[in-house]
Amino acid sequence: MAHLYLLLCSLLTLAALQAINAVEYEVTNAVPTTPGGIIFTNEIGLDYTRQTLPSATAFIWNLFQQTTEADRKSVQRVSLFIDELDPPYAGAAAIAYNNKINVSAVYIQGFSGDRKREFTGIVYHEMTHIWQWNGNGNANGGLIEGIADFVRLKADLAPAHWRQAGEGDKWDEGYDVTARFLDYCEGLRSGFVAELNKKLRNSYDVGFFVELLGKTVDQLWSDYKAMYVNN
């Protein structure tokens, strides 16, 4: 019986690896002679990025409990470019759209910490946008960005400049604030974010929080804030 269980686990792992490898990953440094492009080449590199993209995919699929092809978006290719972003995105670290990720060479140049770790965190955030559901475009934008940063948080890639747990003014402030709130919700119900993402496949309703946790999102936010005030 134990042998049968191990065989089944091996087959499931092999199937997952085959699915991940079926996605094509393309990486291009479009500005190799700029200061940021040179730093990318010297400190991060194309090979590392090509390894990180499928690793991020595997992590996201696992976190979202997307064990079968039917659970996931149909994406055949993901392209990542190191580039200089044009307005209105010139100040952003990266953007993702149409299964393409553009990472700012200017941001890479200006970041003074561990650039490789920061780059990896950015990739995990942007790859989440490739794979997550968004209620057919109707989901709360702060929630969508918060889920992407939640993935980054669970991958242990949260940077030091993030706001701490309990900080922030509203639950859908987005990014780090919403990510830490979602982590609190995850503590109330294991797999909460995965279930929330599944519900976002076709629509968005703030009532999803009630369905999954039995409280409105405003009540949950109030409880979350009170916990840190009391402590």
Residue 101 covered by a domain: yes
Residue 2 lies in a domain: no
Distance CA 140, CA 61 (A): 22
- The confidence score (pLDDT) of residue 222 equals 97
**Does 27 fall in a domain?**
yes
Last residue of one domain, picked from the residues 131, 151, 169: 131
Q: Are residues 185 and 104 in the same domain?
A: no
pLDDT the model gives residue 22:
87
Q: How many domains does the chain have?
A: 2
Which of 34, 131, 42, 45 lies closest to 85 in space, CA to CA? 34
Mean pLDDT by 10 residues, the chain (231 residues): 49 47 93 98 98 98 96 97 93 96 98 97 98 97 98 97 96 98 98 98 97 98 90 60
Instruction: HSE, CB side, 13 Å, CA atoms: give it for residue 124.
Output: 27
Give pLDDT, residue 55: 98
- What contacts 161, CB < 8 A, 6 or more positions away? none
> In terms of domains, do 36 and 127 share one?
yes
What tokens does 104 get? Answer: 């700012």
How many whole angstroms separate alpha carbon 57 and alpha carbon 17?
A: 10
Claim to verify: residue 156 and residue 217 sit in the same structural domain: yes
- Decide if 171 is inside a domain: yes
Pairing of strands 100-104, 94-97: antiparallel
Give the domain extent around 220: 135-231
Half-sphere exposure of 158 (CA within 13 A, CB side): 20
* Domain endpoint, select from 131, 161, 194: 131
User: What is the rounded end-to-end Cα distance, in angstroms, of the chain?
Assistant: 49
Q: Are residue 116 and residue 193 in the same domain, yes or no?
A: no
